[in-house]
Structure formats: structure tokens, C-alpha cells
Amino acid sequence: MIRRPPRLNAFEFAVLAGLRAAQLQRGCFPRVAPSDKVAVTAQQEVAEGKVVRAPSTPSEPIAEPGHVQVV
């Protein structure tokens, strides 16, 4: 079971992991050790902070180098 990080609410975690799973299905390289299931890999990436959402306003900071932004 993947634990949701406290900085994300449950809805944001689910949406972000779903979008990342779609990217992985299309052939993007995983940022963590891949699991048998794409959804689990995506959840692990979000939980570890390897994937962040794209900023919704210009004043929000962008992702750090080595992180993926999901739009």
C-alpha cells in the first residue's frame, strides 16, 4: 500500500498519479524502480516527490531539476 504524502490531499494524489500513469503507459521512463503495475509505479513516484503538478499560476515555483511536472 502506498501512503499519500501529507502535503497532498487524497483527490490531488489520485489525479496526479492517474495522469502520471498515463504518461508511463505512453512510454515515459519511471523515476523509481518500476512495479508490475503502472498505477503502483505512478503512485510511488508521487509519494516520493519525484513527480509534481505543474504550477497553476506564474508565481508558483516550478519543479526542481530531476523532477517531472504533470500538466
Q: Is residue 29 part of a domain?
A: yes
Q: Is residue 5 part of a domain?
A: no
Sheet strands (E) in the chain: 51-53, 68-70
Q: Give the amino acid at 42.
A: A
Who wins on pLDDT, 51 or 69?
51
Q: Is residue 3 part of a domain?
A: no
Full-model pTM: 0.78
Number of domain units in the chain: 1
Q: Is residue 1 part of a domain?
A: no
Cα separation, 26 vs 58, in Å, equals 28
Tens-place pLDDT, residues 23-61: 999 999 999 999 999 999 999 999 999 998 877 766 655
Tens-place pLDDT, residues 5-30: 998 999 999 999 999 999 999 999 99
Q: Is residue 4 part of a domain?
A: no
Which cell numbers in the block locate residue 31? 523515476
Range of the domain at 61: 10-70
Q: Is residue 33 part of a domain?
A: yes
